[in-house]
Amino acid sequence: MKVFNKKGFAALAAVAILAAACGGSTGGKTLTIGISLPLSGSALASAGPAQNGAELAVSEATIDGYTLAVKVLDHAVNGAHDPAQAAADMTTLVGDETVVAVVGPFNSGSAKAQIPVSSEAGLLQCSPSNTNPDLTKGDAGAALRAGRPVNYIRVATTDDIQGPAVAAYAFSQGKKSVFIVDDTEVYGKGIADAFAAKFVELGGTVVGREAADKTVTDFSAIVAKAAATNPDSFFYGGVTSSGAGLVRKAMIQAGLNVPYYGGDGIQDGNGDGSYIAVAGDASADSYSSVAAIHDIPAAADFAAKYKAKFGEDPGSYSASGYACAQIIIEAIKAAIAGGEVTRETVRAAAVMAGATYDTVLGPVGFDENGDTTQKIISLYKVENGDWVFDAQIDYAAQ
């Protein structure tokens, strides 16, 4: 109910205008779900499976009296997500009257650029993979949506849980001293800070902390400094495109053969440009997390129908993309049941307090910030040149 209470006069006025603007389209038969992800170059390996998941869910759904459609926009520039392009794509989706909700984006940096645009239009947006806490929580989250009602929801767990989860994982493997390097970016520094705090709290020692931005390609000096502190483990806060694989390669070359830990930024499969591909043989003894459930309730069914449609196994965030589309479709149905389908009724239905959606990920609901109530972290390790699932931890109860 809290969401409804927040609605002020201005919001009501906006709803009225929107309802008028959308009136024509919702009277017609087509409802479009936008998909806004980075889908070319290096980014495709991680975001492509999320797109497939969302499209699969839409293709399976039917709503009486309406036709469901998808509109896919790619905001990768030079092979990596581009926040400016992400914002431009969101403007395009807002401009298309048939679009009632959007699946995306993939990266927290792009979300930061899109949320002000989608929020102003009152357009529901569900990210399969964003983990940065500041997108939704506290003053930073409220500032991003300019105090308007929540329109951005996500099914991935946030880094204030993911970072500590990796710390607990390392600690459970007997690691007592860690050397940390981050990539100076919002995601990388954030998850490294969260990791460090938990590792120390558990009784471990952070023996050193360095940073190298994404332009750095020579990690020999940092690795030499790390080796001099004799850590029994190493944590990298960042993504593969910032240098996760290069650091690992430099470590092994310098003779620093200790286990390597990272967040979901390095869990990008083993295709071209992935952490495993860049680090090569050095990627052995690496561990990472994904901010989503791995053991989904009907895993075999989902994998089978995914493979039947796309000819490959689901990726890390395929089920999350599928779940986002499921939630949007349920919200559309709820809006229809409530009388009319507009952007505002779909948005309001999705974030309604207490609503729980039965998704491929299991039951999912959203708190007052739009964050998922399912707080599960999955942990992986590299074996024979690929990521192998190791364990998943549910933090909702803790």
Partner 1 sequence: MAAGTVSTVRTEKPRSALALPVIILAFLAAMFVWMGFTQFLNALTLGAVYALVALGYTMVYGIIELINFAHGDVFMVATFVTMFVSGTILNQKEGIYGIPQLILSLVIVFAVTISIMAIIGAVIERFAYRPLRRAPKLAPLITAIGVSFILQNIIQYLVGPYTYNVPQLFPVDWAVMVGETRVPFLNIFVITVAVSLMALLQLFISRTRTGKAMRTTSMDRDASSLMGVNIDRTIMITFLIGSGLAGAAGVIHGLYYGNTNFQVGFQSGLKAFTAAVLGGIGNTAGAALGGFIIAFVEVGAVVLGFSRWGGAVVFSLLVIFLVFRPTGLLGSHTGDRA
CB of 181 to partner 1, least distance (A): 8
Q: Is 210 in the site for partner 1 (CB under 8 A)?
A: yes
Q: Is 78 in the site for partner 1 (CB under 8 A)?
A: yes
CB of 274 to partner 1, least distance (A): 9
Cα–Cα distance for residue pair 122/336, rounded to 1 Å: 18
Q: Which residues of the chain form beta strands (DSSP E)? A: 30-37, 67-74, 76-77, 80-81, 99-103, 124-127, 152-154, 177-182, 205-211, 233-237, 260-262, 286-290, 356-359, 362-365, 376-383, 386-394
Binding segment (CB under 8 A) for partner 1, from list 16-24, 57-65, 209-217, 371-379: 209-217
- Whether residue 123 contacts residue 331, with contact meaning beta carbons closer than 8 Å, is answered with no
- 146, 172, 200, 272: residue in contact with partner 1 (rule CB under 8 A): 272
The interface with partner 1 within residues 148-187 (CB under 8 A) comprises 184
Q: Residue 302 corresponds to which amino acid?
A: F
- 5, 62, 64, 215: residue in contact with partner 1 (rule CB under 8 A): 215
> Phi and psi at residue 65, in whole multiples of 5°?
85, -5
- 138, 280, 363, 385: residue in contact with partner 1 (rule CB under 8 A): 280
The interface with partner 1 within residues 306-345 (CB under 8 A) comprises none
* Token pair of 71 as six digits: 């509109």
> x-or-dash pattern for partner 1, window 227-246, by CB under 8 A?
xx------------x---xx
Q: Is 258 in the site for partner 1 (CB under 8 A)?
A: no
Buried b (16+ CB within 10 A) or exposed e, 320-346: bbbbbbbbbbbbbbbbbeeeebbbbbb
Of 189 and 294, which CB lies nearer to partner 1 in the complex structure?
189
Coil, strand, or helix at residue 32? strand
Cβ burial, residue 392 (10 Å; 0-12/13-18/19+):
middle
Of 215 and 384, which CB lies nearer to partner 1 in the complex structure?
215
Q: Which residues have a Cβ under 8 Å from the Cβ of 243 and sit 6 or more positions away?
A: 183, 212, 214, 216, 217, 219
Q: Is 41 in the site for partner 1 (CB under 8 A)?
A: yes
- Whether residue 283 contacts residue 268, with contact meaning beta carbons closer than 8 Å, is answered with no
CB of 391 to partner 1, least distance (A): 29
Q: Is 278 in the site for partner 1 (CB under 8 A)?
A: yes
Question: How is 163-228 classified by DSSP, letter by letter?
Answer: HHHHHHHHHHTT--EEEEEE-SSHHHHHHHHHHHHHHHHTT-EEEEEEE--TT----HHHHHHHHH
Binding segment (CB under 8 A) for partner 1, from list 81-89, 130-138, 248-256, 372-380: 248-256
CB of 276 to partner 1, least distance (A): 11
Q: Is 221 in the site for partner 1 (CB under 8 A)?
A: yes
| Distances 357 to 163, 265, 350 between C-alpha atoms, Å | 26, 27, 9
Of 42 and 326, which CB lies nearer to partner 1 in the complex structure?
42
> x-or-dash pattern for partner 1, window 80-99, by CB under 8 A?
--------------------
Q: Is 225 in the site for partner 1 (CB under 8 A)?
A: yes
Binding segment (CB under 8 A) for partner 1, from list 90-98, 152-160, 220-228, 360-368: 220-228
Residues that bind partner 1 (CB under 8 A): 41-42, 78-79, 184, 210-213, 215-218, 220-222, 224-225, 227-228, 241, 245-246, 249-250, 253-255, 272-273, 277-278, 280
